[in-house]
C-alpha cells in the first residue's frame, strides 16, 4: 500500500499542484467583486484535502490521447480539469445538505460550517462555473457528455430514493445505480480529456471504458469502506449505509451465499436498524462470514483489470509511463483507506 501510494504521489504531485493553483487563480478571477463570504465558502469546500482524482484523469487521458496538433493547449486542459473538480465540489456541497452530514474529510461540512443557504448556493455557483468552462473551452459535444453524466447523477439519487428499503435489490440494480451515481462522471473526465487531447475514436472509447471501470471500482470500495473503514482515516463516520438500511454490494453478495435463515437475519438487521445503528457488528460478522466483503473487492479488481487491458492500444513512447500512472491510480483506488 504505502509503496504504491508514495510512488503515485510522486508521479502526480506536479499535476496536483498545477490543478490547485489553477483553481485558486480561477476562483480569484471569477469571484472578483463578489461578496467575500462566497469566496470563503468556495475555498473552504474546495481546498480541503481532496484527492483531485477527477481533474487528474482529465489531464492523463488528454496526454495519453496525445495528438498535439488536434488537441487543446495545456492551459485549456487545466481549465477542463478544474471544471470536474468544481462539479465534484458542487455535488458534495449538496449531498451534505441532503444527508445532513456534519463531517467531510474530517472537518465540519460546508453546510455545518456555513449553513444551508451557503451550501446550496455555493454548490450552484460551482456547478454553473463548471458548465461554463466545459461549454466554452470544449464546446457543445463535451457539454452534452458532461450533462448526461450530471443528469445520471440526479437520476441515480432518485433511483436510490425509490430503492431505499427495497430489500430485493439485485446486483445489476446496484451496478446501475453506481453507474449513475459515480461512474459516468468519472468516465466523462476521461472522455472529455480524450476529446480535448485529440483522441481517435478507438482511443476515446478505451479511455472512456477505463474511466467507467475506475469509477465503478471507486464506488464499490467506498461502499466497502462504509463498513470496514477507519473513521480517523476516512474522515467520515462508519456504518452510515447500514444505518440507512442501504443494500450495497457486500450485503447483496453475502445474501447470495448465505442460507435462508441467516439471509433473513441479515435483512432484518438492516431493516430494523434504528438511527444509532444497533446490530452493526452482527451484520458485519454475517457479511464477512458469507464473503460479502472479499467478493465485492474481487469484483472491483476484475472490473478494473479488464479496463486496464483496453489501454494496451496506446503504444507510443510516452504512453508507457502514462499507462503506468493510470494503472497505479487504479491500484490505489482499490486499496485506498480513505
Query: What residues make contact with a second copy under the rule CB under 8 A?
Result: 30, 34-35, 37-38, 41, 94, 97-98, 116-118, 120-122, 124-125, 127-129, 131-132, 134-136, 140, 143-144, 147, 150-151, 154-155, 157-159, 161-162
Least distance in angstroms from the C-beta of 169 to a second copy: 15
CB-CB contact of 153 with 187 (8 Å):
no
For a second copy, the closer CB: 138 or 266:
138
Least distance in angstroms from the C-beta of 248 to a second copy: 18
Least distance in angstroms from the C-beta of 139 to a second copy: 8
For a second copy, the closer CB: 63 or 129:
129
CA angle 137, 143, 149 (to 5 degrees): 130
For a second copy, the closer CB: 13 or 98:
98
Least distance in angstroms from the C-beta of 316 to a second copy: 33
Q: d(Cα 73, Cα 79) in Å, to the nearest integer?
A: 10
Least distance in angstroms from the C-beta of 238 to a second copy: 23
| Helix or strand run (H / E) with residue 36 | helix 36-46
Q: DSSP readout, 177-194?
A: HHIIIIIHHHHHHHHHHH
| Helix or strand run (H / E) with residue 148 | helix 139-163
CB-CB contact of 72 with 80 (8 Å):
yes
Q: d(Cα 238, Cα 231) in Å, to the nearest integer?
A: 6
Q: d(Cα 137, Cα 326) in Å, to the nearest integer?
A: 25
Least distance in angstroms from the C-beta of 128 to a second copy: 5
Q: d(Cα 250, Cα 277) in Å, to the nearest integer?
A: 17
For a second copy, the closer CB: 77 or 326:
77
Only one residue has cell 470563503, namely: 40
CB-CB contact of 61 with 211 (8 Å):
yes
Q: d(Cα 316, Cα 65) in Å, to the nearest integer?
A: 10
For a second copy, the closer CB: 122 or 292:
122
Least distance in angstroms from the C-beta of 115 to a second copy: 8
For a second copy, the closer CB: 4 or 147:
147
Q: Give, as one character, the DSSP assignment of residue 134.
A: I
For a second copy, the closer CB: 9 or 98:
98
Closest CA to 197 of 307, 306, 81: 81
For a second copy, the closer CB: 180 or 239:
180
As a whole number of Å, the CA-based R_g of the chain is: 20
Least distance in angstroms from the C-beta of 167 to a second copy: 19
Residue 107 backbone dihedrals phi, psi, to 5 degrees: -120, 165
Amino acid at each position: 500500500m504505502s509503496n504504491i501510494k508514495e510512488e503515485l504521489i510522486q508521479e502526480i504531485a506536479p499535476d496536483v499542484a498545477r490543478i490547485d493553483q489553477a483553481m485558486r487563480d480561477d476562483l480569484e478571477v471569477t469571484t472578483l467583486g463578489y461578496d467575500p463570504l462566497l469566496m470563503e465558502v468556495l475555498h473552504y469546500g474546495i481546498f480541503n484535502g481532496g484527492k483531485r482524482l477527477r481533474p487528474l484523469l482529465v489531464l492523463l487521458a488528454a496526454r495519453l490521447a496525445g495528438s498535439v496538433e488536434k488537441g487543446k493547449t495545456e492551459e485549456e486542459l487545466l481549465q477542463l480539469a478544474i471544471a470536474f473538480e468544481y462539479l465534484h465540489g458542487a455535488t458534495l456541497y449538496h449531498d451534505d445538505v441532503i444527508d445532513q452530514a456534519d463531517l467531510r474529510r474530517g472537518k465540519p461540512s460546508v453546510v455545518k460550517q456555513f449553513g444551508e443557504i451557503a451550501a446550496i448556493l455555493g454548490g450552484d455557483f460551482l456547478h454553473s462555473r463548471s458548465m461554463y468552462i466545459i461549454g466554452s473551452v470544449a464546446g457543445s459535444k463535451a457539454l452534452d457528455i458532461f450533462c448526461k453524466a450530471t443528469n445520471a447523477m440526479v437520476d441515480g439519487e432518485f433511483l436510490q430514493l425509490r430503492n431505499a428499503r427495497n430489500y430485493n435489490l439485485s446486483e445489476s440494480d446496484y451496478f446501475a445505480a453506481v453507474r449513475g451515481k459515480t461512474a459516468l462522471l468519472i468516465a466523462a473526465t476521461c472522455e472529455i480529456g480524450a476529446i480535448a487531447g485529440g483522441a481517435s475514436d478507438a482511443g476515446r472509447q478505451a479511455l472512456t471504458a477505463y474511466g467507467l471501470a475506475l469509477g465503478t471500482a471507486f464506488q464499490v470500495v467506498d461502499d466497502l469502506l462504509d463498513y470496514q473503514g477507519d473513521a480517523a482515516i476516512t474522515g467520515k463516520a462508519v456504518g452510515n449505509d447500514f444505518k440507512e438500511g442501504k443494500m450495497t454490494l457486500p450485503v447483496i453478495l453475502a445474501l447470495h451465499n448465505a442460507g435462508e435463515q441467516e439471509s433473513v437475519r441479515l435483512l432484518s438487521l438492516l431493516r430494523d436498524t434504528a438511527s444509532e445503528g444497533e446490530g452493526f457488528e452482527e451484520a458485519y460478522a454475517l457479511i464477512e462470514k458469507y464473503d460479502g466483503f472479499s467478493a465485492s473487492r474481487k469484483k472491483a479488481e476484475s472490473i478494473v483489470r479488464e479496463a486496464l487491458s483496453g489501454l494496451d492500444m496506446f503504444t507510443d513512447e510516452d504512453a508507457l509511463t502514462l499507462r503506468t500512472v493510470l494503472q497505479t491510480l487504479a491500484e490505489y483506488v482499490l486499496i485506498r483507506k480513505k
